[in-house]
Structure 1
Amino acid sequence: MDFEQAGELKIGQVGIANLRIRTLDVDRLTREMQERVARAPKLFGRAAVILDFGGLSKMPDVATAKALLDGLRKAGVLPVALAYGTTETDLLSQQLGLPLLAKFRAQYERAEAEPAPAPLPVAEPPPRRARAAAAVPAAPAPSAEATGGAPKPGRMQTANVRSGQQLYAENCDLTVMATVGAGAEVIADGSIHIYGTLRGRALAGAQGNTTARIFCREFHAELVAIAGHYKVLDDVPDSLRGKAVQVWLEQDQIKIAALD
């Protein structure tokens, strides 16, 4: 039995889902999305979805793309744009009447193998006197403390994050000293620490940081995500609900464990 999904769904930093098409099978993709919506209707029902055809060797024709859009709408989500700005994708987006959002493919590019850097040119050996001078160790670079510099501080939220509110910590960690209510969303490029109850959504590593983690004192999250990989509450064992937990990413899988 084939357990590999035809479409990989990731959650973006503003809660928009990015669907990367891996197998161009309209019926199968529609069924997968119907199952996602059925499992978490409050999260995925009428959710904005961006389609990424960058994982395919060949772009779909207009008729197939339109059939996929219709299938996803029937499944309960709203396709709003195409991802990645190749010439072919740009043309398809115009034919479909959808905008093109190139930014969303960056996380996939970072996650996959990057091309090896070009070899550095071989330099001529330095003169003997220069070699002797080079043997003298250079003075160490001044530390951040010595120069008065400091790493960017994390963002702290002391009040409750209420339903409909969204909090984003850019290029740093986020600490919430209160509750994240149902329907609220907290996002950080780094890790997220919640000292109250987490009932809404928490998205860490929003720019693709796979080492980011989520910690909370009382876990009832609608959704948690690390670098776009997500898990909804229905997929979490009952034994972890209401507990203090940590969430991390391991081999592209969300892991959740109780804190001792």
Structure 2
Amino acid sequence: MASPSAHPAHDYEPAGELKIGQVGIANLRVRTLDVARLAAEMADRVKRAPKLFARAAVIVDFGGLAATPDAASARALLDGLREAGVLPVALAWGSSDNEKLSVELGLPLLAKFRAQYEPTAGAAAGAAEAATPAARQPVAASTAPAKAEAKARPAPAGQPGLIQATPVRSGQQVYADNRDLTVLTTVGAGAEVIADGSVHIYGALRGRALAGAQGDEKARIFCRAFHAELVAIAGNYKVLEDIPKELHGKPVQVWLENEELKIAVLE
């Protein structure tokens, strides 16, 4: 009989390492179940900003509808979005009907990741979802609680801002949870910086900057050289194609005024 030491050792190392982290993902809140219109709007977004939206992962959120659609209608929408150039990867968490629909579609349900990107209660649905240049649009990293809940999480007294001393390179993401973010160098194309407070960039901004991620409409974005792929405050965003060329390369500040995103040269 072989001794225990003669048996081969078990390999307990996993074949794949799974980590849960901050995920950059868009949230499409459906307000009118018009597949052709929704697909056309998405195709226009992809056309205007392909670096941001082409093959972008999208959560489909049916919470804006009076009733959850049937599986056939939902599949038609998913097919339309894929043809438009994005990749629907999940449904937003919602009712028990929504959960049943996700099973029928073979998609997961995803709740919030990090941010609040719902439009304000007084914002018109059509304006929030319009695909015209320079329109306010909700971009989401995820589904999220109501704005009142997001604002109910005040920053701790004396909470210091997060300082990023090295460049933020393509594919990297820096997130300042419940505080401001200061980047001492540059934010490269394809990189993303996010803060629940304001974002300060002392170099060129070539990637994406999102301030007020939990719904703070008083947050601002400052940068020394503006080449941003996208800027957003409390879910209201603009892409570079929507911004006057005379602002490109300039030191600017970005803020929200009367639910409209403003960008101006720093004097």
Q: TM-score, normalised by structure 2?
A: 0.75
Q: Which residue number in structure 2 is paired with residue 9 of structure 1?
A: none
Larger radius of gyration: 1
Q: Which moved more, 1:201-210 or 1:172-181?
A: 201-210
Matched residue, 1:15: 24
Task: Give 2:207's match in structure 1, choosing from 184, 188, 200.
Answer: 200
Match of 1:34 among 43, 54, 57: 43
> Out of 154, 161, 171, which is 2:168 matched to?
161
Question: How many angstroms does 1:68 deviate by?
Answer: 0.2
Using the alignment, how far apart are the partners of 2:167 and 2:220 within structure 1?
Answer: 21
Q: Which runs of 5+ in 1 are unaligned?
A: 1-12, 117-148
1:184 aligns with 2:191: yes
Measure the CA separation in 1 of the matches of 2:104 and 2:92: 15
Superimposed CA distance per residue, residues 181-231 of structure 1 (whole angstroms, 9 cap, x where no aligned partner)? 111111111110001100011111112222211111110001111122211
Match of 1:215 among 219, 222, 227: 222
Distance 1:55 1:223, change over 3 A: same
SS of the residue aligned with 2:116? helix
Bigger mean CA deviation after superposition, 102-111 or 88-97 = 102-111
Match of 1:225 in 2: 232
The residue correspondences of 1:1-260 to structure 2 (distance < 5 A) are 14-103=23-112, 107=116, 111-112=120-121, 150-260=157-267
Separation in 2 of the partners of 1:204 and 1:108? 11
Task: List gaps (5 residues or longer) in structure 2.
Answer: 1-21, 123-145, 149-155
Given that 1:249 and 1:255 are in contact with CA atoms closer than 8 Å, whether structure 2 keeps it comes out as: yes
- Local SS of the residue matching 1:107: coil
- For the 8 Å contact 2:190–2:208, the answer to whether it is kept is yes
Deviation at 1:104, TM superposition (A): 6.6
- Indicate the SS of the match to 2:64: coil
Secondary structure of the 2:112 match is: helix
Letter in 2 for 1:65: A
State whether residues 186 and 202 of structure 1, in contact with CA within 8 Å, keep that contact through their aligned partners in structure 2. Answer: yes
What CA deviation, in whole Å up to 9, does each residue of 1:124-181 have, x standing for no partner? xxxxxxxxxxxxxxxxxxxxxxxxx951100001111111111111110000110111
Q: Stretches of 4+ moved more than 6 A in 1? A: none
Aligned counterparts of 1:174 and 1:165: Cα–Cα separation in 2: 15
Deviation of residue 232 (structure 1)? 0.5
Question: 1:13-71 deviations in whole A, cap 9, x for unaligned?
Answer: 74311111111100000000000000011110000111111111121111010000000
In the TM superposition, residue 84 of structure 1 has moved relative to its aligned partner by 2.7
Whether contact under 8 Å (2:218, 2:255) holds in the other structure is: yes
Letter in 2 for 1:85: G
Give the TM-score, by structure 1 length: 0.77
In structure 2, relative to structure 1, the CA distance for the partners of 1:42 and 1:109 (3 Å cut) is: closer
Match of 2:11 in 1: none
Question: 1:183 corresponds to which letter in structure 2?
Answer: G
Once the two structures are superposed, residues 80-113 of structure 1 have per-residue CA deviations (whole angstroms, 9 ceiling, x without a partner) of: 1111321111111111111112327983679438
